[in-house]
Amino acid sequence: MNSHSRAAFTLWEILALLCLILVVAAIFFPLFQPHTSDRHRVTCQSDLRQLGLAFAQYSQDSDEKLPPGVNTLNNGWAGQIYPYVKSTGVYHCPEDAAQGNYISYAENQRIAEDSLENFAFPDYSVALYEETTLNCDPSTPETVSATGLTAPQSSARHDSLTLGLNYLAVDGHVKMLKPGQISSGLHAVPPKQATGKGYALTFAIK
């Protein structure tokens, strides 16, 4: 005798299977998505690269000199490069908790108004670093954006204890570094390189 049996799922079994799939997807799907902090870090690095391009354009129009930090019109570096940026958004890191027109970066004061020809190792000299500075709008003429001499080791941005902070080098590249990787010494030279003339600046990348 031939018997033919056809297995079929009941409606409840199908619903139970769908629920199981949804639960598993809810558990594992976030693992394949970029973490919010990672997206913010990438956005921050992209913004710093744009500011680096603005630094380069400013220098081309200013006899190869970098922004002076504060000029006779009381403009800070952010206001000085704004004509090359034309966006206030790139000045604010998405992980900077400050609300409003806070500028999330400060210029290394030792490079202010220095000439690019003085940098023997521009890839080891910091131009901008992450720091919550003044609440000001870089598109306005009264901007006095900050310059600084100390590394922002107190900043908790980007989980700085484990990941570090973003730094823009004079040559335009951006790198996330831990505070311990930034020197407060005077000579911006690569590791194991002899120091040369007085191109040396605070915030040398070790």
Count of Cβ atoms closer than 10 Å to residue 173 Cβ: 14
For residue 103, what pLDDT is reported?
Answer: 86
The distance from CA 25 to its chain's CA centroid, rounded to whole angstroms, is: 33
- Render each residue's pLDDT in the chain as its tens digit; 206 residues: 455 555 566 878 778 888 888 877 667 655 554 456 677 788 999 999 999 999 999 999 999 999 987 766 667 889 899 999 988 899 988 888 877 778 888 888 778 888 888 887 788 788 888 886 677 788 887 677 777 655 454 566 776 566 778 889 889 999 887 766 776 544 444 444 434 333 334 455 55
For residue 26, what pLDDT is reported?
Answer: 66
Nearest Cα to Cα of residue 171 among 48, 14, 27: 48
For residue 118, what pLDDT is reported?
Answer: 81
Burial annotation 53-62 (CB, 10 A radius, 16+ → b, else e): ebbbebbeee
For residue 189, what pLDDT is reported?
Answer: 44
Distances from the Cα of 168 to the Cα of 33, 67, 103, 171, angstroms: 27, 14, 15, 8
For residue 205, what pLDDT is reported?
Answer: 56
For residue 6, what pLDDT is reported?
Answer: 54
Task: For 143, list phi and psi in degrees, rounded to 5.
Answer: -60, 130
Going from N- to C-terminal start, the domains of the chain cover 35-205
For residue 114, what pLDDT is reported?
Answer: 86
